[in-house]
Amino acid sequence: VQLQASGGGLVQSGGSLRLACTASESIFSINDMAWYRQAPGKQRELVALISSITGSSGGSTSYADSVKGRFAISGDNAKSATYLQMNNLKSEDTAVYYCYLNGRRTSWSNWKDYWGQGTLVTVSS
Contact 36, 97 (CB under 8 A): yes
Q: What percent of the chain has pLDDT over 90?
A: 88
How far apart, in whole angstroms, are the C-alpha atoms of residue 49 and residue 91? Answer: 22
Angle at 32 between CA 22 and CA 43, to 5 degrees: 85
CB atoms under 10 Å from CB of 123, counted, come to 20
Share of the chain above pLDDT 70, in %: 98
Q: What is the pLDDT of residues 3-51, one digit of tens each?
A: 999 999 999 999 999 999 999 998 999 999 999 999 999 999 999 999 9
